[in-house]
Amino acid sequence: MPDQTPDRIPDRSVLLDHVSIRFGNFTAVDNANLKINSGEFFSFLGPSGCGKTTMLRCISGFSEPTEGKVLIGGKDMAGVGPNKRPTALIFQHLALFPLMSVAENIAFPLEVRGVSKKARRKKADELLDMIALPGIGDKKVSELSGGQKQRVAIARALAVEPDILLLDEPLSALDLKLRQHMRTELRAIQKQVGVTFIYITHDQGEALTMSDRVAVMSRGVIEQVGEPDHIYNRPRSAFVASFVGENNALQGVIKGQSGDLAALETPMGTYEARVGGGRKYKAGDEALLFVRPEQLIPGATENAFHATLTRQEFEGATNHVFAKAGDTELRISMVNAGLAGSLPGQGESLSLGFQPMNGTILPVGHMASDS
């Protein structure tokens, strides 16, 4: 719309400008430098204790960065308390007020801003319609189911009309089916209200399915920021490769590099694979080779491991096959071909090959299982 003046489009971006947060000697967040765009669904993904909740509390104003600046909508938030920031936080355990009714909960942000009782009730009813729970305004919080509480918490946070909605693992307490349903719903709500969502989770399924972009964190460091498929297909560090999805890892020595591809010598042979993160290696550098279980093709002889099948785990659509190549156990995912197909038997020898573009060579670093 050309006639729309620029100030009518609120700037809902968040800029973390070299943010470090320390508690005594412990560094919870180390030099985070990142821009979250206006209207984006952005996730911080990482194992517990990686600093993602600290980051969230820093954005919402419950703690101040030790170093660096947090800018919301282009404004420096230093010294601005949580009640003055254009953010709303959905707590892990929701923190609904048990002594208030559902409508009072939702209208609480309006109550503290001095909005009249009638207008509050109207807004609460509107928001209840939006979360598809009309008519429950007079119920007690304790009478709601887990999924309903979830949605009431979202409605309460949206009542402030925040620019940024921060969500701290809000789905972790729900059962699997409900969690999957809420993923779709959260995404739909985000599209509807156009607010920037910053989502904290240790569940990669949530992060990958809902987000526009994901930041993977480990030990206080942002390891990689990118779209979900980039994170999965183009990991830039050993941690990201091992934390997001399943991966087979092999250590070896670089023999040579040409462009995007490099050759890595391992005890089982020499393999060609893509170089992660556009790095340059010299011959003799130590490196890790990552190959996803679904990229290992039985029967392929190029770029292949010679392995013996040890065991299988059946999981409906996929079959997890484990095979031993030298000292390394490889994990292979096979699509269940149904009754028409056949699976290799125990003790059978297999040749497992992969396309050079589907393997990733990354520098040696800590892995998900280390932390």
Partner 1 sequence: MNRHTLFGGAYALAFFSFLFGPLVIMATTAFNSSRFPRVAPWECFTTGWFGELFGNARLMEGLMNSVIIGVGVVALAVPIGLAGALALSELPPKLRSMLYTVLILPILIPGVVLGISTIVLWGQITRGTGAGFLYNGYFLTIVGQITFVSAYAMLVFIARLQRFDATQTEAALDLGATPGQAFRKILLPFMAPAIGSAAFITLLASFENYNTTVFTVLSESTFTTALASKVRHGTDPSLSALAVIIITLTLVGALTNEAYQRRKEAESGGRASRSPLYANPVTRALTHPGIVFAILVTVIGGITYAGSQYDSSVCEAAVLQEKLDRQEELRAEQRARIEAQEAEQGVTVPKPDSAFGGAFGGVGTPAAPAAPKPESPSAFGGAFGGITAPEVDE
Nearer Cβ to partner 1, position 158 or 350? 158
Least separation in angstroms between CB 104 and partner 1: 10
Q: Which is nearer to partner 1, 97 or 314 (CB)?
A: 97
Q: Does position 211 bind partner 1 by CB under 8 A?
A: no
The answer to whether 258 contacts partner 1 (rule: CB under 8 A) is no
List the interface residues with partner 1, window 38-67 (CB under 8 A): 60-62
* Alpha-carbon torsion (43, 46, 48, 49), positive or negative: negative
83 is an interface residue for partner 1 by CB under 8 A: yes
Instruction: Identify which range of 107-115, 224-232, 244-252, 277-285 contacts partner 1 by CB under 8 A.
Output: 107-115
How far apart are CB 77 and partner 1 at their closest, in Å?
13
Residue from the set 32, 88, 141, 186 that interacts with partner 1 by CB under 8 A: 88
The CB-of-97 to partner 1 minimum distance in angstroms stands at 6
Stretch that binds partner 1, among 33-41, 94-102, 300-308, 340-348 (CB under 8 A): 94-102
In terms of CB distance, is 30 or 111 closer to partner 1?
A: 111
The site for partner 1 (CB under 8 A) is made up of 60-62, 81-83, 87-89, 91, 93, 95, 97, 99, 108-109, 111-113, 156-157, 159-160
